[in-house]
Amino acid sequence: MNFLSQLTGSFAQPCAENPTVAMIEAAYRHHELEWRYINCEVAPDELGDAVRGARAMGWAGFNCSIPHKVAVIEFLDGLGESAEVIGAVNCAVLRDGKLIGENTDGKGFVQSLRESVDPKDKTIVMFGAGGAARAIGVESALAGAKKITVVNRSEERGNAVVSLLNEKTATNAEFVCWDGDYQIPAGTDIVINATSIGLFPDVDACLALDMNTLTADMVVADVIPNPPETRLIREARQIGCTVIDGLGMLVNQGVIGIKYWSGREVDPTVMRTKLEEIFDVTTENSA
């Protein structure tokens, strides 16, 4: 008999609105894994203590969310290939006694995107230049995106992402300063919200975006998981766009994270179903 559970979890601030814990725990139970996932509120100045605590308690790994995806790197022992390129970590994995930073955000997003459209040779407009945006931009570029326009209020952060994409990938990236309602250029294939705008509790917030420049042949994706039906997703669907909510990215990166931690392949439908139960949503007309 073994009464010791293997621990995993998440460090973020705020963390209460993050449904990852329910999704991961559902997968653990479905596959009869004696594992637990603990959602932890961790302030920036306490992140080092949290990582040291995870080491001390023998955690198999943990996720990092806002605002820790870049700051956590200094407390880790090394980085995986994609995390090193991206410069951000959302998943730490204990390997041979060392905590290695990985990034599953971009991989999870691209997998979700491919359920509706192949990013290869597509033109993308992406709002945001934080850790999630860096991951999504890099993985979309590696998947063959032809052009990525990064729209962000901070010129320094936006140009940093553009430089990364142009130097490390074959895509053509450009920066546009986000000033007023941005107009989506004609010929854009995919529009991505990689910011926290619309995240609970500010559910009525929407991007400063001229919605009249969206067209029905565009794919609109939002990384916000709570609520899945953000104002952007709702209004884009009304226009006739194919929409992708944040649950797809969340589920897919969760599948990858569990594989990193446990070596087990888990069923993504179990995780998606749990999230749909929580938010009482259907996935008709969305991926």
Residues forming the active site: 69
The helix-helix angle for 20-30 and 246-262 (nearest 10°) equals 50
Are 184 and 210 in contact, with CB atoms under 8 Å apart?
yes
183 annotated binding-site participant: no
Count of beta carbons in the 10 Å neighbourhood of residue 7: 17
56 annotated binding-site participant: no
173 annotated binding-site participant: no
Phi-psi region of 84 (alpha: psi -120 to 50; beta: other; left: phi over 0): alpha
132 annotated binding-site participant: yes
128 annotated binding-site participant: yes
131 annotated binding-site participant: yes
Which residue ranges are tagged as binding site?
65, 81, 90, 105, 128-132, 223, 246, 253
Which residue ranges are tagged as binding site for NADP(+)?
81, 128-132, 223, 246
Which residue ranges are tagged as binding site for shikimate?
65, 90, 105, 253
